[in-house]
Chain A
Amino acid sequence: QVQLQESGPGLVRPSQTLSLSCTVSGASISSGGYYWTWIRQHPGKGLEWIGYIYYSGSTYYNPSLKSRLTISVDTSKNQFSLKLSSVTAADTAVYYCARGDSTPQDSWFDPWGQGTLVTVSS
């Protein structure tokens, strides 16, 4: 059974960099075939796709976040990570990691991590 678990600081200061990791268990990222994904949900709002990465390092980013976003993968740790720079209060959200199946153009997300709330505040 594949499981994903997010980790990282719950509080980030404005203008700093938000950094999260997602540890995958029950499957190997380096096996390929899946797109490892970050999704966020602002408080009381809907879901926003952030981006995904393939085990080879190929990335696909939401254009609205692209200038501030880096998604990377560490196959030795079976983890992938998100870095979002120059954060503001608008980046306060629950951040989820998920496994994307199929191709980037037809990808669905399953399973999901439990999510981690990141608050941007001084």
Chain B
Amino acid sequence: QSVLTQPPSVSGAPGQRVTISCTGSSSNIGAGYDVHWYQQLPGTAPKLLIYGNSNRPSGVPARFSGSKSGTSASLAITGLQAEDEADYYCQSYDSSLSGSLFGGGTKLTVL
């Protein structure tokens, strides 16, 4: 069972804004460790979307943004597009695990 909790699913209409939450604890996000986000399109490997809480790799549209506060982090997607339909995962370090940890994933459906 993941100790980074994400909603199983979110949905939104094209053009809308959606957010995906990632709730952790004092041994991971709350301890100050960075949060990273990945997008996994159907049948493909995950792709880095956000690193270091809020940084976008080159090539990732500015529609994607990340934030972190306390024991939680969020991924926001504005101007939703059909191509954004995918699974999204958060990831951080956990001091109890002494290793990296992924959230359970959130399936984004574009209505």
* A and B are interacting partners: yes
User: Which residue of A is nearest B53, CB measured?
Assistant: A106
**8 A Cβ contacts from B33-67 to A:** 33-34, 36, 38, 44-48, 51-52, 57
Least distance between B12 CB and chain A CB atoms (Å): 22
Given contacts A47-B89, A104-B93, A105-B33, contact A110 B48 (CB under 8 A): yes
Pick from B2, B51, B97, B99: contact of A108, CB below 8 A: B51
Asked whether any CB of chain A lies closer than 8 Å to the CB of B21, the reply is no
Contact with B along A52-71 (1 / 0, CB 8 A): 10000000111100000000
Instruction: Tell me which residues across on chain A come within 8 A of B91, comparing CB atoms.
Output: 47, 49, 108-109
Instruction: Tell me which residues across on chain A come within 8 A of B102, comparing CB atoms.
Output: 39, 46-49
Interface size on A, residues (CB 8 A): 28
**8 A Cβ contacts from B84-111 to A:** 89, 91, 93, 97-105
- The answer to whether A49 and B101 have CB atoms under 8 Å apart is yes
Least distance between B48 CB and chain A CB atoms (Å): 4
A-B pair count, CB < 8 Å, reads: 70
Given contacts A47-B102, A107-B100, A108-B52, contact A115 B45 (CB under 8 A): yes
Least distance between B71 CB and chain A CB atoms (Å): 17
A96 to B89, CA, bound (A): 15
Contact with B along A90-121 (1 / 0, CB 8 A): 00000010001110111111111111000000
- The answer to whether B34 and A106 have CB atoms under 8 Å apart is yes
Least distance between B61 CB and chain A CB atoms (Å): 16
- The answer to whether B93 and A105 have CB atoms under 8 Å apart is yes
Interface centre among A63, A109, A115 (most CB of B within 10 A): A109
Instruction: Tell me which residues across on chain A come within 8 A of B103, comparing CB atoms.
Output: 46
B residues at A contact (CB < 8 Å): 2, 33-34, 36, 38, 44-48, 51-52, 57, 89, 91, 93, 97-105
Q: A46-B103, A107-B100 are in contact. List 17 more A-B contacts (CB 8 A).
A: A46-B102, A49-B99, A49-B100, A60-B99, A62-B99, A104-B93, A104-B100, A105-B33, A105-B93, A106-B52, A108-B91, A109-B48, A110-B47, A110-B48, A110-B51, A112-B46, A114-B44
